[in-house]
Structure 1
């Protein structure tokens, strides 16, 4: 776990919001375009995240890439679409680090 990369990734309100939304995707996303995709196990499409953020596609993709580089998100590509979900293992390790060492 790259702790510095994680904290850098978390130092942005939009990236924090993405992590919050992806914790319970069914509460925040309608999944209009891809109803056959299970948001809990596969993830949420970039387009859905971008619509909810209200930012450009390039900015949204940049934020998602930062979160993925920090290992806070995992990506699954299906056809031409990319779906993101939280990496709960990394988030759990971070919580443990905060609780026990910081």
Structure 2
């Protein structure tokens, strides 16, 4: 695991985002562009749910994407985010091996 992963996991807000994205249909309203599960959740919806500005949410989302915890996809002018389940399983396994 890299330091970037530890930094990404060191924030309650980022952990909350990961939790919400585990079941996006339960936590976010339908989107005009992009399917919540297939394409991910629009960064604007994540910002609104967090109660922060879009630039603040962007910082969190970019950190998580850079650490490999999320994937991003552009549709029109929006960026959509979803969990990288394969990377999260590998992370969970690596943590379990260290315990």
TM-score, L = length of structure 1: 0.91
SS of 1:40's equivalent in the other structure is coil
Deviations 1:12-34 (A, max 9, x none): 01011000000000010012x41
- 1:80 maps onto 2:89 in alignment: no
Gaps of 5+ in 1: none
Instruction: Quote the offset at 1:47 in angstroms.
Output: 0.8
Q: Which stretch of the first structure deviates more once superposed, 37-46 or 62-71?
A: 37-46
Pairwise CA RMSD of aligned residues?
A: 1.2
SS of 1:75's equivalent in the other structure is strand
Instruction: Quote the offset at 1:49 in angstroms.
Output: 0.4
TM-score, L = length of structure 2: 0.93
Q: What is the aligned length?
A: 99
**Which residue number in structure 2 is paired with residue 61 of structure 1?**
58
**Which residue number in structure 1 is paired with residue 18 of structure 2?**
19
Deviations 1:20-57 (A, max 9, x none): 000000010012x41x5221111000111011000011
SS of 1:37's equivalent in the other structure is coil
